[in-house]
Amino acid sequence: MTFCVLVAEMDKIIDVAKRIRNMEIRGAGTIARAAAQALKDYALVQETTNKLEFDSQLSGAAEILVSTRPTAVSLPNAVRIVMAYKGGSVDEARSDLVRLADEFISTSKEATRRIGLIGSQRIGNGDTIMTHCNSQAALSVIAEAHRSGKNIKVIATESRPRLQGHLTIQQLNELGIETTLIVDSAVRYFMKDVDLVVVGADAVTANGSVINKIGTSQLALAAHESRTNLIVAAETYKFSPRTLLGEMVEIEERDLGEVIDPEKLSGMKHVKVKNPAFDVTPSSYIDLICTEVGAISPEMSYIIIRDILGWDVRDMQEIIENSK
């Protein structure tokens, strides 16, 4: 492979990373699948016969992708799964990486479907469901309940400042589900009309806390106050192994331009803007976490990390020691 072609292929990795960072590619599951596909495509164009060089090129691409969205645990988990390829030669390594990427993409899509089947069992005929942001896993739960013949209604938040709720109401409308759009600050006012809250997750910690779109915790608090159950729809690859040793999930701070026009702010020397993209909902506010392997209590999150993702405390200790 010529140097120019190699650079062009790395530019594609950088482009995917940029689209993830700028939220052109959004949603934890979609981000994870995009990263897996990008690594597969990059591996397929490597013409080197030097295994060390192949490993180095793929590791560099993986680092670029992982650095884009620090809170979305699905991203590093997906990259770790794909980068666990084996093989003594470049051809063997490439073949195994492609297999792992294809398997991850396929199982990720199947996971969303299975979550819908499991979570929809919690929805009753005539229920009104509140949801937040634009979670494909949460929408799968709602869509499956609708497909099964249950007469349901949905209240969806705008999900400021990126307004992902506008995507949600469009998708619900296409499914033929009666939906009401509300501003984020109205969740407590409308909670009296809600039978169940269904949200997604960008990360689930070892103690069962959920990191999701900013505003989720206030919705959970309102639901807890009104004794309305809240369920989280989350694929197992969204569980965070690094929290096993107490590491906190980094909360991404996004550009202030998402909140206010920088020109309007320029003359306000005493004003600053904070724009966290996510917040943390404590496990005590969560009734159930629906995964593709079953519905669990938040306290069982460690079991998912250990038995499904294959991590334990010793694994994390070794990684942390090696990273020093």
* Secondary structure (DSSP) of 4-37: HHHHHHHHHHHHHHHHHHTTSS-SHHHHHHHHHH
Q: Say whether 202 is catalytic.
A: yes
Model pLDDT, residue 27? 84
| pTM score, whole prediction | 0.89
For residue 100, how many C-alpha atoms fall within 13 Å in the half-sphere facing its CB?
24
Tokens representing residue 187 in the block: 């969740």
Among candidate residues 55, 96, 102, 133, the one labeled active-site is 133
Strands, E assignment, 183-268: 196-199, 203-204, 210-213, 230-233
Cβ within 8 Å of residue 313, ≥6 positions away: 244, 245
What's the pLDDT at 320?
A: 57
Calculate helix-pair angle for 90-119, 51-66, nearest 10 degrees: 30
- For the chain, domains (ranges, CATH) are 3-112 (1.20.120.420), 115-323 (3.40.50.10470)
Element (H, E) at 130: strand 128-131
Q: Which of 102, 127, 202, 290 is catalytic?
A: 202
Is the pLDDT at 3 greater than 50, yes or no?
no
DSSP 8-state class, residue 105: H
pLDDT-derived band of residue 323, with 50, 70 and 90 as boundaries?
A: low
Per the annotation, the verdict on 133 as an active-site residue is yes
- How much is the pLDDT for 145? 98
Query: Mean pLDDT over residues 43-62, rounded?
Result: 94
